[in-house]
């Protein structure tokens, strides 16, 4: 498996499973507990780093179905304010966006990675990502974020994403199978299929991101809102770590760190 780096933290291969902390500056987020207003970004990021996060994933737009849509201009305003708080702190940051204008804004700051839920489908975005030389986290997408249904379609979409990365010359790549209800036609069982067959995606020999934190398919099973899905999330996180996830994206760093430590003990500490 090809490995990559965030700062000095190796990802994939024999490296420990890394943690990505979620900070949303979008009040529209499906999990309101993840919303961090301007002025509190640095404090929250420092806490996550202290608890064991290797990188902070900063997003300014909710991509949950039925959430209020905002303009790219508004996303850029939010990103600018948030990134300004973190600039010069040395905290590794990935920017979660799929719009080239927002990426252009983010690249004015000292960011460590780009998180593209659109799977490099936008030519201008992909070109700018390649030019930056930064690590790219790319989610399974054919024409729009999360449009594959189930593991077989996701396998084909990730093959397409990998081809796009190679065509643009992006070498440092983490793949995200895109678990979650991204499009209205997605069903909970599609997400469970991805989780059951998570290890299949190791065939691409790229580090895999497990991004399931408090998502709706867990809530559908348990009959609980986002605020009450932590236990379900942690149980599933353990299974994804055992299935080969190289990095876990989570709202709950300390609890997830403990789960990972237990899993790695069971596997034989890396």
pTM: 0.94
What percentage of residues in the chain have a pLDDT greater than 90? 83
First vs last C-alpha separation in the chain: 15
Distance of CA 46 to the CA centre of its chain: 19
Q: What's the confidence (pLDDT) of residue 70? A: 81
Q: What's the confidence (pLDDT) of residue 27? A: 74
Q: Which residue has 């348990």 as its token pair? A: 222
Q: What's the confidence (pLDDT) of residue 270? A: 55
Query: Which class for 3: exposed (0-12), middle (13-18), buried (19 or more C-beta within 10 A)?
Result: middle
How would residue 68 be classed by pLDDT, with cut points 50, 70 and 90?
Answer: confident
Q: What's the confidence (pLDDT) of residue 19? A: 98
* Average pLDDT along the chain: 93
Choose among 172, 173, 217: nearest CA to 194: 217
pLDDT in tens, 73-98: 999 999 999 999 999 999 999 999 99
pLDDT in tens, 166-176: 999 999 999 99
Q: What's the confidence (pLDDT) of residue 38? A: 84
Residue 108 has what DSSP assignment?
T
Beta partners for 93? 56
Cα–Cα distance measured from residue 264 to residue 270, given in angstroms and rounded to the nearest whole number = 7
pLDDT in tens, 177-194: 999 998 888 999 999 999
Q: What's the confidence (pLDDT) of residue 178? A: 96
Structure tokens at 13: 């291969």
pLDDT in tens, 47-62: 999 999 999 999 988 7
Q: What's the confidence (pLDDT) of residue 36? A: 83
Q: Which residues are within 8 A (CB) of 56 and not within 5 positions of it... i.e. 6 or more apart? A: 20, 21, 23, 45, 48, 49, 86, 91, 92, 93, 94
Cα–Cα distance measured from residue 25 to residue 145, given in angstroms and rounded to the nearest whole number = 20
Q: What's the confidence (pLDDT) of residue 60? A: 87
Cα–Cα distance measured from residue 113 to residue 95, given in angstroms and rounded to the nearest whole number = 7
Q: What's the confidence (pLDDT) of residue 32? A: 64
pLDDT in tens, 106-133: 999 999 999 999 999 999 999 999 999 9
Query: Which class for 45: exposed (0-12), middle (13-18), buried (19 or more C-beta within 10 A)?
Result: buried
């Amino acid at each position: 498996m090809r490995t990559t780096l965030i700062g000095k933290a190796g990802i994939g291969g024999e490296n420990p499973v890394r943690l990505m902390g979620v900070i949303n500056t979008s009040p529209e987020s499906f999990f309101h507990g993840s919303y961090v207003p301007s002025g509190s970004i640095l404090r929250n990021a420092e806490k996550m780093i202290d608890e064991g996060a290797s990188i902070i994933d900063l997003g300014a737009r909710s991509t949950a179905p039925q959430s209020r849509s905002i303009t790219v201009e508004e996303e850029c305003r939010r990103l600018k304010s948030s990134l300004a708080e973190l600039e010069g702190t040395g905290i590794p940051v990935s920017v979660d966006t799929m719009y080239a204008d927002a990426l252009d804004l983010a690249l004015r700051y000292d960011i460590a990675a780009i998180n593209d839920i659109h799977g490099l489908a936008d030519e201008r975005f992909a070109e700018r990502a390649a030019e930056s030389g930064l690590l790219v986290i790319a989610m399974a997408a054919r024409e729009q974020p999360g449009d594959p249904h189930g593991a077989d379609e996701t396998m084909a979409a990730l093959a397409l994403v990998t081809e796009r990365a190679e065509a643009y010359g992006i070498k440092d790549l983490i793949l995200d199978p895109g678990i979650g209800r991204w499009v209205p036609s997605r069903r909970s069982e599609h997400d469970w299929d991805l989780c059951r067959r998570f290890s299949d995606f190791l065939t691409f020999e790229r580090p895999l991101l497990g991004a399931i934190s408090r998502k709706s398919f867990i809530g559908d099973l348990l009959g609980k809102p986002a605020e009450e899905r932590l236990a379900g999330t942690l149980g599933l996180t353990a299974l994804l770590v055992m299935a080969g996830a190289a990095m876990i994206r989570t709202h709950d760093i300390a609890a997830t760190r403990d789960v990972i430590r237990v899993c790695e003990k069971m596997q034989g500490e890396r």
